[in-house]
A and B are shown apart, each in its own frame.
Chain A
Amino acid sequence: MAEIRYLAPRTLDEAVGAFAAAQGAARILAGGTDLLVQMRNGLAKPGLIVDIKKIAEMTEIAELPDGGFRIGAAVSGAMLAEHPRFGQVWPGVLEAVNLIGSKQVQGRASPGGNLCNASPAGDSVPAMIAAGAVVTVQGPEGRRQMPVEAVPAGPGRTNLRPGEIVVGFTLPPRPAGSGDAYLRMIPRTEMDIAVVGLGVSLTLAGGTVTHARVGLGAVAPTVLLVEEAGNALLGSRLEEAALDAAAAACRAACRPINDKRGTIAYRTKVAGVLLKRAVAIAAQRAQGGN
């Protein structure tokens, strides 16, 4: 039997050093809700597990002086839900993070793990993309930042360089009149995986959209930023024509597969339906509703 080493470093430098030195034989452990399942199924056989939860920065939630937020990569869904301010500012992102896995694993499941698992159906990713979140990564060659949408490379693959670890997410300051939402289609009500997931972030001024971003999941090899959908909403007052155009942009962005979780035709149609529904919720929030 192969031996597994387990490390729980207190500093990021130690973690990066050990992770890089293992040269691909190591896996990062945040909540473990993907990693442990993969190990049990024989899909992952790491020689080294680097637990990042002992590193303070990884589990911190900070409201920044400019009004933005920094969320450590290993912050659990439950921790984020308990933050007094985060859910008020980014209700859509919080909803999405709280849908990772199921209620039972929310005390462990983290947005960093969800992103690095690189599933096209990861729930938090479309909402983070819509929010315009940027990830900080640290590797042997130091720190760098990249937009969330640049992280996934394909199912189970990321664009992180060897030895790089996602440290956290930075969400931008929120102008007045902003709101976000995340919706996913699952056949059940719980314990399921997104057939389509869609996040929207809007800013409205006097009823006119001044900022709009749309993230779309489970319809392509990676979660997508659908710029055309955001552009279709920009400058509109969310009239039917703008919503139709944004929905059409979402459908056009779909490159899904037929699989056990949904058909191409169904996923494509649902992308448009969710766009309209999520925009309605985000707009209501932007205008002061809940």
Chain B
Amino acid sequence: MNVISDKLHVENNKWIGTRTIRPDGADKVTGRACYAADNVMPGMIWGKVLRSPHAHARIRSIDTSKAEALPGVKAVVTARDIVDFPLDKSVMLGIQDMRWMCRNVMAREKALFHGHPVAAVAAINEEVAAEACRLIEVDYEVLPHVIEIEDAIRPDAPILHDFLTFEDKPSNIAGRMEAKLGDVEAGFAQADVIVERTFRTRPVHQGYIEPQACTVSYAADGRATIWSSSQGQFMVRAMTSLLTGVPQSNIKAIPAEIGGGFGAKTIIYLEPVALLLSKKSGRPVKMVMTRDEVMRATGPTSGSLSTVRIGARRDGTIVAAQGTFYLQAGCLPGSPLRGPVGCSFAPYEIPNVLSVGYDVVSNRSKVAAYRAPGAPLGAYATESVLDELAGKLGIDPLELRLKNSAKPGSKAAYGATFGKVTFEETIEAIRTHEHYRAPLDKTPRPGVKRGRGVASGFWYNAGGESSAQVNITEDGNVLVTTGHPDVGGSRASIANVTAELLGIEHGRVSVQIGDTSSIGFSNLTGGSRVTFASAMVVTQSTEKVITQLRERAARIWKIDPEAVTWENGEARPAGPNAGQFPPLTLTELAAKANEMGGPIGAGVQLNTTGADPGFATHVVDVEVDVDLGIIRVLRYTAAQDVGRALHPSYVEGQIQGGVVQGIGWALSEEYLYDRQGRLDNASFLDYRMPVCSDVPMIEPVMLEIPNPKHPQGVRGVGEAPIVPPLAAIANAVHDALGIRFTSLPMSPPKVVEALEGA
């Protein structure tokens, strides 16, 4: 796709930057890959969750006696079995508050959404477990429910949680976050043009294909083994430990191959429940969610109500920006406020910024992280307003962005002072791209209109804790173990890095993901951090291995280790000894390992830093069937600073995947509720994610500007590409129709209605 990057890599590297065969590929295409639901154990039984039929209800009592008496039922659990975290004291695991997590995995005082787990059963098979769920008698006091933000923040709204107050009154506003710079009112006073708009987005689901699933075996000695699919086996261990009271040292969490997560599998639903069922029954317990359960009771990300106001001088200099973002948390606090509050204005140098977010609870499933959590809905508002501002100022929208882009030393309202900033490069890449310059026939046929739009986006990226172990096998090959489930090609990238550093054939390196008992603590696969962080610890581990290999050769040759170099997979005498001894290959050194000091291997555990933020700029062409209101994406080009593409196919895949998810968010995906507060489209038929034929080939433009703080120059890439598409598409639709959509998705009925009202 991008010639420059490939050439750059070919010049410098043998493996880094090449499209090596992915290590997980053969297993996945032949159906051998072992996902969470594939695990089977002797004596295993099945767990099922009983879910609330009400959107909001007090639980007066639960009678499980009939279910327990049903033949084949082995165990029943309710909230009484889950560790209670009292409401007056926050206990955090990462960004998750256990007060909310314990109530999310099992309703405690109240059922807070339709589908909220109320009890769970383990039985000899799924049918008996389902029958037992029907026999559980729950006495509900049905309460009025509230779904939408506008309704939830009304003074007379049904209150979900008595303990939540806002401005000293009981409220569904669970929290507020602010980012501030300068004096925003004074800034607006200097503006010649001000644009202010209010935007709405609907909750959208992460849409991973693999439902949540786990098998848990709690043995008689009090040790538990968990097989599950997640974005972090250490999170699974820690959260399960907190919610069940079993110490972490007694839990082994084994990561299964993961069939998509996109952020949503950074929390758990089933594992603690299955553990408790296994503990009570003495049998391994398997639980697999149905698609209906996944849609109804996991994720999605927040819907939003945002108002953004931006003021500029006549020459296009932005002098002030203000954003107010209300986000749906679902039934318990925890919206990703940091996304819109921090990211919306971050790509720009604006002297006066006030960005405020509100966390609003309502009777929906609790939101989970979704790729650049919260940032896309913030950028939708900001980048739409910028588009309108560019129109009012008569400035090209990319010029406007370029004129105001953050530079090294710029201070972002969220607190950071930027070092290297590569935003301008992404704008330039689009501005000079053939796509942006290509003529667009705006009325190709009667009833069809076309338009082009641009937008940019920002994501923080992250470092954090990672561990790696690099071992040389007795036959002289290499086994690398990291602690991160691979959702975006980390194994393939790590194999490239290790082979490059050791100077050996790529096929001699195997990369595996360790369980919690075989590798040191590694934080979640999320935040666009894994390739960045694990390449760092793998590099340091490999360098230690190379030092050992040089020492071994030095010992064999009886020379100083400093006089040994490692080149092309072999130790060579250097300096005064150059040429005195034939080189020793990795295989030869491995064969002599034990007589020369023991096994060869090294591990590194780090809290990695230096993950600079990601920037992206996109251009899109759309076509609108004006009679049917259908919007199709004709062409899409996405430029991003990727630092260095260790494995370009995966980097392109990340960019394309993020864009496609953004297209779904913009055009067709939404959570729909009925009057009883029940999700009305809990299936892939009616929750309309784009299918392959809905999207064109997305062209990624990888800008490889090495991150100076990383050994290979890596920058996180997974999240930034989902940030611009919502606004880019809305801006393109505006270009086509002259109508600015301030509410997503731009579904056909909405488009027709807008056209008829125009």
Contact = CB atoms under 8 A, between A and B. Distances in A.
Question: For this complex, into which size category does the number of interface residues on chain A fall?
Answer: 20 to 34
Given A260-B686, A265-B749, A273-B627, A187 B668 contact: yes
Given A1-B127, A192-B685, A269-B752, A187 B693 contact: no
Given A188-B691, A188-B694, A189-B694, A261 B627 contact: no
B688 A188 contact: yes
B680 interface: yes
B690 interface: yes
Nearest to A274: B628
Contacts of B193: none
Interface string A157-198: 000000000000000000000000000010111111101000
A262 B747 CA distance: 10
Given A1-B127, A273-B627, A190 B749 contact: no
A266 interface: yes
A265 B691 contact: no
Nearest to B673: A260
A270 interface: yes
Interface in A39-60: none
A58 to B, nearest CB: 28
B680 A187 contact: no
A189 B693 contact: yes
B749 A263 contact: yes
Interface string B676-692: 00001100111010111
A191 B687 CA distance: 11
Interface in B685-725: 685-686, 688, 690-694
A259 to B, nearest CB: 8
B46 to A, nearest CB: 14
Contacts of A266: 629, 748-749, 752-753
B681 A260 contact: yes
Contacts of A195: 748
Contact of A187 (B627, B672, B684, B688): B688
Contacts of B681: 260
B691 A190 contact: yes
Contact of A188 (B628, B690, B753): B690
B630 interface: yes
Contacts of B686: 193, 260-261
Contacts of B749: 262-263, 265-266
A234 to B, nearest CB: 25
Q: Which of A187, A191, A266, A269 has the largest count of B CB atoms less than 10 A from its CB?
A: A187
A188 B668 contact: yes
Main secondary structure of the interface of B (DSSP, over half): loop
Question: For this complex, into which size category does the number of interface residues on chain B fall?
Answer: 20 to 34
Interface in A243-288: 259-263, 265-266, 269-270, 273
A192 B688 CA distance: 8
Given A260-B680, A260-B681, A270-B628, A189 B691 contact: yes
A154 to B, nearest CB: 21
Contacts of A261: 686
A261 B681 CA distance: 9
A244 B414 CA distance: 58
Contacts of A187: 630, 667-668, 688, 747-748
A266 B629 CA distance: 9
A246 to B, nearest CB: 15
Contact of A273 (B628, B685, B753): B628
Contacts of B684: 191
A273 B684 CA distance: 27
A247 to B, nearest CB: 11
A103 B78 CA distance: 44
A180 to B, nearest CB: 21
Contacts of B627: 269-270, 273
A185 B693 contact: no
A1 B71 CA distance: 12
B752 to A, nearest CB: 6
Given A1-B127, A265-B753, A269-B752, A185 B628 contact: yes
B624 to A, nearest CB: 13
Nearest to B130: A42
Contacts of A265: 749, 752-753
B292 to A, nearest CB: 8
B127 A185 contact: no
Nearest to A102: B691
Nearest to A195: B748
Contacts of A191: 684-685, 691
Interface in A191-237: 191-193, 195
Nearest to B690: A188
A263 B752 CA distance: 11
Contact of B748 (A1, A185, A193): A185
Contacts of B668: 187-188
A99 to B, nearest CB: 13
Nearest to A270: B628
A269 B751 CA distance: 13
Contacts of B748: 185, 187, 195, 262, 266
Interface in B719-758: 747-749, 752-753
Contacts of A273: 627-628
B679 to A, nearest CB: 10
Interface string B623-640: 000011110000000000
Interface in A85-112: none
A130 to B, nearest CB: 20
A275 to B, nearest CB: 11
A265 B684 CA distance: 25
Contacts of A190: 691-694
Nearest to A273: B627
Nearest to A277: B627
Nearest to A2: B127
Nearest to B745: A187
Contacts of B629: 266
B649 to A, nearest CB: 25
Contacts of A269: 627, 752
25 contacts: A185-B628, A185-B748, A187-B688, A187-B747, A187-B748, A188-B688, A188-B693, A189-B691, A190-B694, A192-B685, A192-B688, A195-B748, A259-B680, A260-B672, A260-B681, A261-B686, A262-B748, A265-B752, A265-B753, A266-B629, A266-B749, A270-B627, A270-B628, A273-B627, A273-B628
Given A190-B691, A191-B684, 11 more contacts: A188-B668, A188-B691, A190-B694, A195-B748, A260-B681, A260-B686, A263-B749, A265-B752, A266-B629, A273-B627, A273-B628
Identify the 4 closest CB pairs spanning chains A and B, nearest first. A266-B749, A189-B693, A273-B627, A263-B749
Interface of B: 127, 627-630, 667-668, 672, 680-681, 684-686, 688, 690-694, 747-749, 752-753
